[in-house]
């Protein structure tokens, strides 16, 4: 691993995705930077079969940064964890390129599978604070997982997911550029259903009132 190259890449990455960064030297203070540095060392040892040494490095990094990345996980270029405390990434997780996670995200298993038991995250995915993705399935590229969502099944590409359990909202295959990613402007399918039910109830009430008025007119 070229340390200087890695530092420069992280400087550019954090400056691009975190508006709070005021100096390029702040990169050394970011938990994500320190966690990824430790991950690269532990992952290299893991691939060589030195599992205990790999876990020691990853666990020390977890205690220092609050970001627990199993050395067996596969992580692509452009990966960034904003804030980071409470992030857990399981052993068989596969993460694509340009993925962003926020604090409290879990990429875990259900405890029932053997072999590949953690999720696969596609390229250009954003997973908001507190989201839990549990199981061996794929989150499609260019997707966006809302804060606090619990995702238990496959997510198609170009989708937005919110709720518990997660509900998928299609994005018509339009790529989500990073400058548009945020954790607030998400559709709410539960609220949409409530609005539809309220509308239907109002229609039934108007129909009932009209019927009652007609009956009164007929009696007169």
* In a shared domain, residues 174 and 195: no
* In a shared domain, residues 164 and 211: no
* In a shared domain, residues 202 and 125: no
CATH number at residue 33: 2.160.10.10
pLDDT of residue 178: 44
Q: What is the mean pLDDT of residues 30-53?
A: 92
Higher pLDDT, 68 or 191: 68
pLDDT of residue 172: 58
Q: What is the mean pLDDT of residues 124-128?
A: 93
Range of the domain at 220: 188-220
Percent of the chain with pLDDT over 90: 46
Higher pLDDT, 214 or 158: 158
* In a shared domain, residues 176 and 202: no
Which pTM was predicted?
0.73
* In a shared domain, residues 90 and 23: yes
pLDDT of residue 182: 54
pLDDT band at 55; cut points 50, 70, 90: very high
pLDDT at 17 over 80: yes
* In a shared domain, residues 103 and 202: no
Q: What is the mean pLDDT of residues 21-48?
A: 88
Higher pLDDT, 185 or 11: 11
* In a shared domain, residues 116 and 198: no
* In a shared domain, residues 119 and 164: yes
* In a shared domain, residues 41 and 138: yes
Q: Which pLDDT tens digit goes with each residue over 145-194? A: 999 999 999 999 988 888 888 887 766 555 445 444 455 555 566 666 77
Q: What is the mean pLDDT of residues 69-85?
A: 91
pLDDT at 120 over 60: yes
* In a shared domain, residues 210 and 149: no
Query: Token digits for 190?
Result: 């539960």
Q: What is the mean pLDDT of residues 55-84?
A: 92
Higher pLDDT, 142 or 218: 142
* In a shared domain, residues 111 and 127: yes
* In a shared domain, residues 165 and 193: no
Q: What is the mean pLDDT of residues 114-125?
A: 92
Give the count of domains, the chain.
2
pLDDT at 204 over 50: yes
């Amino acid at each position: 691993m070229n340390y200087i190259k890695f530092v420069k890449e992280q400087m550019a990455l954090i400056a691009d995705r975190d508006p709070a960064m005021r100096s390029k030297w702040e990169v050394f203070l970011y938990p994500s930077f320190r966690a990824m540095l430790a991950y690269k060392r532990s992952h290299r040892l893991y691939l060589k079969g030195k599992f205990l040494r790999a876990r020691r490095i990853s666990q020390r990094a977890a205690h220092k940064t609050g970001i627990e990345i199993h050395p067996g996980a596969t992580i692509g270029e452009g990966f960034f964890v904003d804030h980071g405390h409470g992030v857990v990434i399981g052993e068989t997780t596969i993460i694509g390129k340009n993925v962003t996670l926020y604090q409290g995200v879990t990429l875990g298993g259900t405890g029932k599978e053997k072999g590949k038991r953690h999720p696969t995250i596609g390229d250009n995915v954003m997973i908001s604070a507190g989201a839990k993705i549990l199981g061996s399935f794929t989150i499609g590229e260019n997707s966006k997982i809302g804060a606090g969502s619990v995702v238990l099944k496959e997510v198609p590409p170009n989708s937005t997911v919110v709720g518990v359990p997660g509900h998928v909202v299609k994005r018509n295959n339009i790529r989500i550029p990073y400058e548009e990613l945020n954790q607030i402007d998400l559709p709410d399918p539960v609220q949409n259903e409530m609005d539809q039910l309220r509308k239907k109830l109002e229609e039934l009430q108007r129909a009932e009132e009209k019927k009652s008025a007609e009956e009164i007119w007929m009696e007169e």
